[in-house]
Structure formats: C-alpha cells, structure tokens
C-alpha cells in the first residue's frame, strides 16, 4: 500500500526566503512521487515528479525536490519565495503498476511581503 504524509497544513514564509514543504511516503514497492500545485479556484498543475532516475528532481517555477530513501522523504524546496508561489501544494504517490494515485492532505503556502 502507498500513502504520503505532509507535515504542516499551513506554512508561511517571507518573500525571498527559503520554501520547504515536507512530504514523507510509505510504500511497499519503489514509489513514484509527485508534487502538484493548486492556485485558488484552479485545477492541479504538476510541479515535478520522481520516477527512479535522478534523486534530485527539478521542476517548474524554480522548485525542486530530493528523494531520500533512507528518510522516506520527498521534500519540496525553492531557494527564494515569490508572492506568486502562494497556493496549495499536494504531494502524491503512485505505484509502478496500476493507475491509482494517493494524495497527501495538502500544505497551504502563504508568502508574506
């Protein structure tokens, strides 16, 4: 079975500060991990994904995430927050077979001017 846990339902950072959104996974098989962003009143947009290639994954809008098997983590980071980064962020996991996706509970990011 697969699942993800997002620590911190709300994160606030100052504009220009480091963004760190936490995600830990549980999976009985090698997982595929994803970060999605949802801006207000919009659908979900894929930020990046890990599919067992490089452990450091670069995504859109300056975000990146590192897969750490020893810590079962896939935290999302961005060196410098921008006001436009304010949104809901979802970590998700899927197995390498089947077509089910499991979302975390989400983290709401607020960027303070």
Of the candidate residues 3, 12, 42, 61, the single one contacting other proteins (CB under 8 A): 42
* Minimum CB distance to other proteins smaller for 43 or for 113: 43
Cβ-Cβ contacts under 8 Å for 43 (sequence gap 6 or more)? none
Binding mask 83-102 for other proteins (x = CB under 8 A): -----x-x---x-xxxxxx-
Q: Over the range 35-44, which residues count as b (16 or more CB within 10 Å of their CB) and which as e?
A: bbbeeeeeee
Is 50 among the residues that bind other proteins (CB under 8 A)?
yes
Contacting range for other proteins; rule: CB under 8 A; set: 17-25, 62-70, 73-81, 103-111: 103-111
Beta strands 10-14; 107-112: pairing state: parallel
């Amino acid at each position: 079975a697969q699942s993800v846990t997002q620590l911190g339902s709300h994160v606030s950072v100052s504009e220009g500060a480091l963004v760190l959104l936490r995600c830990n996974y549980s999976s009985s098989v090698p997982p595929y991990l994803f970060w999605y962003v949802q801006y207000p009143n919009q659908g979900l947009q894929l930020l990046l994904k890990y599919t067992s290639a490089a452990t450091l994954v670069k995504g859109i809008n300056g975000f990146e995430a590192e897969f750490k098997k020893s810590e079962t983590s896939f935290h999302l980071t961005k060196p410098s927050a921008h006001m436009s980064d304010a949104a809901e962020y979802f970590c998700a996991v899927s197995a390498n077979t089947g077509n089910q996706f499991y979302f975390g509970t989400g983290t709401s990011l607020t960027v303070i001017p």
